[in-house]
Amino acid sequence: TPHPQRPRLGSIALASGAAWVLAGNDTGTMVTASPRLYPHMWSWDSAFIMVGLAQLDVDRACREMETLLSGQWEDGMIPHIVFSDEDGYFPGPDRWQTAVVCEHAPARPHTSGICQPPVHAIALRKIVDAGRRRSGADRRRAEALLRSTWPRLFAWQRWLATYRDPLGTGLIAVTHGWESGMDNSPRWDSPYAAVQPGDDLPPYVRQDLDKVCEADERPTDEEYDRYLWLIEEMRRVGYRADEVVRIGSFLVGDVFLTALFALSCDVLADLGEESGQDPEKIAQLRRWAARSRTAVLDTRDPETGLARDYDMRAHKWIAAPTIAGFAPLLSGGLAPQDQAALLATLEGPDWMGHPDLVAATPPTVSPSSPQFMPKQYWRGPQWPVISWLFSWAMRRNGLHDTAARIREETLRLVSDGTFAEYYHPLTGAPLGSRSQSWTAAVVLDWLY
C-alpha cells in the first residue's frame, strides 16, 4: 500500500525548507549530519553539505571546509567523523581514542580513525563556481579557499593512493564497511561473515536505536559487533595506516569509492590547473585518475556488465546487485556500446524502471533481487544523496538525459518536505532520520 502522501511542496517551499534544515543543524562551525541521530560532522556528508551551503552563503560553505580540514590527520587522511561537543552518538571519541594511540591524529577536534569516500574535490569545485558567479567578496573568499585547500585535498588523495591500493592496480580498498559510506550494504555481507569478533571486545551500548527511526530500518546487533570489532583491531595497532591494511580482518577493494577517487582526482586536477598549482602534482592526479578509472572498468562482471567489489582477504569477487555496480558511470571511460548497455540496465525494469517504484530513481539494491529489503538502510531504499551524485557525475560525463531524469524523479520523491535520510522505493515513505542535512543540501543544489 502506498504511503499516504503528504502535501507535495513546490520548488520555492522546498528550497526554503531545505535552507531551514541546514540552518537548524548548524552549530556555527559545523552543520551536523542530522539533528539527533548524527550530531557530528561526517566526512562525505560535509562535502554534500558544502554543495548546498555554496548556493546559500559562500563564506559559510568555506568555513565548513575549514572545519572539516581542522580534523585532517597529519598523514593526509580525512577522518570519517569530526566530533562536535555533543554527546549522544556511539562510538564517540572515548571509544575511538585516536588522539591517545595515534600520533597522526589531532588532539582537537576529536576524530574517528577511519575514512569515507573522497568527494571533497566536488565540494571545492561547487564553492569555487558559486564564488565566481558572484562578485567581489564571495569570489575572493572562494579563490582564497581554493589556494589554501588544494594542497590539503591533494594530500588526502595521495593518502588513499599510498595506503589503500595494496594490489597496486588502482582499486582502492576499505578496511571497514563504514568507510564505504554504505554501512550494511549486501556488498559487505560475505567479507563481514569472515570477521570473528574476539571474546575481548569491550562491551558497548548502541545509541542509534532509541533515536528517530524503527530498529528494522537500522543495522542489526550482529552487524554492530563486527563494526566494533574492526575498530578494536585498528585501535590496538594505533591506527597506523600500513598496519591496519596488513592485519585487519576486513580488506575489500571498493569499486564505488574507487570511481569517486578517480573522479575527484580529475576534478582536483582541473581546479589545480585553474589556480596555478604545481604541474607535477597535477600530472600525478591525472595518473591516479587514469589508473583507478581502468581499475573500475576491470571489475566488470562479464555477464551483467556491472562493476564488482573485490574481497582482498578471501581473494574473490563480490557479486551483489547494488547501486555500486554502476560505478563506471561515475568515473567514465566506457566504450560507447558498453556505456549504452550499462545505462540501459540502470534505466531498465530491474533498477530505475522497475514498475513498482514510486519514483524512477536508483534504489540501493535491485528490487528484482531476493536481497532487496525496501525499508532497511543500504539494502534497498533510495538515498537522495546517491541520486544527486550519479546525476552530477553523469552530467559531467555527458549523460544529460539520465541525469535530468534522476534529478526530476528524486525531487518528486523528496517533495514531501521531510528531507529524510532515505526513502521506501515502493511506497515513497520517508525512512531513517528526518531533516537529514545532505538530503536538504542536494535538494538546494538542484533547485538553484
Going by C-beta distance under 8 Å and a sequence separation of 6 or more, which residues neighbour residue 415?
A: 8, 9, 10, 14
By CB under 6 A, residue 45 contacts ligand 9YW = yes
CA distance 354 to 318: 24
Closer residue to ligand 9YW in complex, CB, 229/288: 229
**In the bound complex, what is the minimum distance in angstroms from residue 116's beta carbon to ligand 9YW?**
6
Determine which residue in the list 14, 19, 31, 33 makes contact with ligand 9YW, applying CB under 6 A: 33
Closer residue to ligand 9YW in complex, CB, 154/377: 377
Q: How far is CA 48 from CA 12, 19, 31, 209, 234, in A?
A: 20, 14, 11, 25, 28
CA distance 49 to 22: 8
SS3 42: strand
Closer residue to ligand 9YW in complex, CB, 220/275: 220
Going by C-beta distance under 8 Å and a sequence separation of 6 or more, which residues neighbour residue 141?
A: 58, 59, 62, 131
Q: In the stretch 200-219, what mask flags binding to ligand 9YW with x, by CB under 6 A?
A: --------x-----------
Nearest by Cα to 433 from 3, 47, 17, 36: 36
**In the bound complex, what is the minimum distance in angstroms from residue 215's beta carbon to ligand 9YW?**
13
Closer residue to ligand 9YW in complex, CB, 116/402: 116
By CB under 6 A, residue 38 contacts ligand 9YW = yes
Q: Which three cell numbers stand for residue 46?
A: 560535509
Nearest by Cα to 38 from 113, 88, 72: 88
**In the bound complex, what is the minimum distance in angstroms from residue 33's beta carbon to ligand 9YW?**
4
List the alpha helices (DSSP H) in 57-181: 58-70, 93-96, 98-101, 120-133, 137-163
By CB under 6 A, residue 422 contacts ligand 9YW = no
Number of H helices, E strands in the chain: 17, 8
By CB under 6 A, residue 225 contacts ligand 9YW = no
SS3 301: coil
CA distance 64 to 437: 13
By CB under 6 A, residue 146 contacts ligand 9YW = no
Which one of 183, 270, 274, 298 is the catalytic residue?
A: 183
- Give catalytic status of residue 421 as yes or no: yes
Going by C-beta distance under 8 Å and a sequence separation of 6 or more, which residues neighbour residue 370?
A: none
CB 73 within 8 A of CB 105: yes
**In the bound complex, what is the minimum distance in angstroms from residue 178's beta carbon to ligand 9YW?**
7
By CB under 6 A, residue 181 contacts ligand 9YW = yes
Closer residue to ligand 9YW in complex, CB, 33/160: 33
Determine which residue in the list 30, 32, 42, 112 makes contact with ligand 9YW, applying CB under 6 A: 42
CB 423 within 8 A of CB 431: yes
Which region among 37-45, 167-175, 236-244, 408-416 touches ligand 9YW (by CB under 6 A)? 37-45
By CB under 6 A, residue 229 contacts ligand 9YW = no
- Give catalytic status of residue 86 as yes or no: no
Which one of 165, 217, 266, 421 is the catalytic residue?
A: 421
Q: Which helix (H) or strand (E) holds 22?
A: helix 11-24
CA distance 299 to 316: 11
Which region among 42-50, 52-60, 156-164, 187-195 touches ligand 9YW (by CB under 6 A)? 42-50
Closer residue to ligand 9YW in complex, CB, 188/446: 188
Closer residue to ligand 9YW in complex, CB, 33/51: 33
Determine which residue in the list 14, 30, 32, 44 makes contact with ligand 9YW, applying CB under 6 A: 44
By CB under 6 A, residue 79 contacts ligand 9YW = no
Catalog residues that contact ligand 9YW under the rule CB under 6 A.
Answer: 33, 38, 42, 44-45, 181, 183, 208
Tell me the catalytic residues: 183, 421
